[in-house]
Amino acid sequence: MRPPAPSRTRARSAAALVAAAALALTGLTACSSSSSSDDGAQAGPPPKLTVWIMRDSVSDGFLQRFKADYESTHAGTALDIQIQEWDGIGQKITSALASKDAPDVVEVGNTQVAQYAASGGVQDLSGKVGDLQGADWIPGLAEPGKIDGKQYGIPWYAANRVVIYHKDLFAQAGITTPPKTREEWLADTAKLNTGGNDGIYLTGQTWYALAGFIWDEGGDLAAKGSDGTWKGALDTPQAKAGMEFYQKLQALGSGPKDSDEAKPLQAEVFAKGKSAQVISTPGGAAAILKANPALKDKLGFFPIPGKTAAKPGAVFTGGSDLVIPESSKHQAAAYEVVKALAGEKWQTEMAKEMSYVPNRTSLAGVLSGNEGASAMAAGAVNGHATPNSPNWAAVEANNPIKQYMTQVLTGADPQSAGKTATESITKALNSTS
């Protein structure tokens, strides 16, 4: 799934402040390697690797520099980097994985890895995790590429939400330091919710934020049982506690209870200057400034607060992974491309150019000069993924989580609403159609 952005669930951000994070996982199984062509032993012309990259994931300049550097340092290998459109990409990748002439490296949405892995057309890269220094990966970025204990995906970059705040409104309320805990956050937001201002603009269906609060309580949206079946988890005490906090926070503003952050666009609401805070990717600042350039230099960023000051709040990590199709004719060479893109040099280059969070915790310092990206990097250490099921897309299609949230916020019994949502999630995740 693409990183959350103001204009689409997993979309690019509109500006240089966009922040996201990168990540990688890898490994060729002995079986996969033996069934593919041995690049080193091939005679004739050097291999030409086809690499599918999604539009706007990275800049043209970045791709040009990577291609030139890679080809100069890997004599005998040429890269054919092809830009793909997000619209319709699911069917295109599914067809490619089933073919005998698939690309060698493919960028996919991170929540789609389970679906593609289930098809049997993606290589198990578990054996290469150590080679890629996987122990240093940001946990929330690594999770989506790991299915049933096997590493298929290389979450290449990702984004998570932070709090964007109006510095002038904070100063007027006498708040000099952003909150570090949930209780401080509620207290500060109450102070900001005066004089015709909203303490926070938070809609009733910002479900990624709710997921973070549930994770903080030790819960989840769904869990996989020992028998391999999935069960929704919105009827648990942990989900109830997360929703109770969401309800308290949402009440300190005038956001609609029956819609999400796209209806109306929350960046345009915030741009009116009366909202003190909004939960968004850092890239949301670009959309705010586009709507109201007068807010330039008045926007600040901080990680979503956690239950204690020792750890930021949990956040959903969305983004893209790199996978190697089983039918790639150059699997060993394809892995080398993945290794380069996931390595320190190009992770650092990408972080600086795109304001993305690097995939390794040890590289977070490269964003020290970018306030929005730094806040996101700080929050990324507590990143999480949606349930790793091939059917998760079916849950999002009708999204009973949103329905549950609106019901609770408008007075429904949380336990009853949670039970209904849990049943819907369970049915979707266990569907075989």
Q: Is residue 8 part of a domain?
A: no
| pLDDT band, very low/low/confident/very high, at 171 (cuts 50, 70, 90) | very high
| pLDDT band, very low/low/confident/very high, at 379 (cuts 50, 70, 90) | very high
183 lies in the same domain as 332: no
303 lies in the same domain as 402: yes
Q: What is the CATH number of the domain that holds 412?
A: 3.40.190.10
Q: Which of 351, 369, 384 is the last residue of a domain?
A: 384
Q: How far apart are CA 425 and CA 352, in angstroms?
A: 39
Contacts of 72 (CB under 8 A, 6+ apart): none
Determine the pLDDT at residue 129: 94
52 lies in the same domain as 128: yes
92 lies in the same domain as 125: yes
Domain ranges, residue 223: 162-315+389-429
- Picking from 15-29, 217-231, 414-428, which range would have the lowest pLDDT averaged per residue? 15-29
32 lies in the same domain as 156: yes
171 lies in the same domain as 304: yes
Is residue 311's pLDDT more than 60?
Answer: yes
Q: Is residue 70 part of a domain?
A: yes
Is residue 305's pLDDT more than 70?
Answer: yes
Determine the pLDDT at residue 286: 85
* 275 vs 319, residue with greater confidence: 275
Q: What is the dihedral of CA 348, 350, 352, 358, to 10 degrees?
A: -60
Q: Is residue 6 part of a domain?
A: no
User: pTM value?
Assistant: 0.76
- Picking from 3-7, 72-76, 375-379, which range would have the lowest pLDDT averaged per residue? 3-7
203 lies in the same domain as 297: yes
154 lies in the same domain as 189: no
Phi, psi of 297, rounded to the nearest 5 degrees: 70, 5
Q: Is residue 14 part of a domain?
A: no
Mean pLDDT value across the chain: 87
pLDDT tens track for 75-124: 989 999 999 998 788 889 999 999 998 999 999 988 889 889 988 999 99
- Determine the average pLDDT of the residues in 243-268: 96
Number of domains within the chain: 2
- How many residues belong to the chain? 433
For tokens 């109006």, the residue is 166
Q: Is residue 353 part of a domain?
A: yes
Q: Are 301 and 164 in contact (CB under 8 A)?
A: yes
Is residue 339's pLDDT more than 80?
Answer: yes
- Determine the average pLDDT of the residues in 223-244: 97
Is residue 3's pLDDT more than 60?
Answer: no
176 lies in the same domain as 153: no
Q: Is residue 406 part of a domain?
A: yes
Q: Is residue 77 part of a domain?
A: yes
- Picking from 247-261, 289-303, 375-389, 415-429, which range would have the lowest pLDDT averaged per residue? 375-389
Q: Are 364 and 142 in contact (CB under 8 A)?
A: no
299 lies in the same domain as 395: yes
CA 358, 361, 363, 364 dihedral sign is positive
pLDDT tens track for 45-72: 568 999 999 988 888 999 999 999 999 9
Is residue 394's pLDDT more than 80?
Answer: yes
Determine the pLDDT at residue 190: 98
| pLDDT band, very low/low/confident/very high, at 20 (cuts 50, 70, 90) | very low
Long-range contacts of 414-417 (CB under 8 A, 24+ apart): 414/240, 414/243, 414/244, 415/235, 415/240, 417/234
- Picking from 9-23, 203-217, 283-297, which range would have the lowest pLDDT averaged per residue? 9-23
DSSP run (H or E) holding 98 = helix 89-98
394 lies in the same domain as 250: yes
Determine the pLDDT at residue 159: 82
Is residue 4's pLDDT more than 70?
Answer: no
Q: Is residue 1 part of a domain?
A: no
81 lies in the same domain as 185: no
Q: Which of 384, 401, 421 is the last residue of a domain?
A: 384
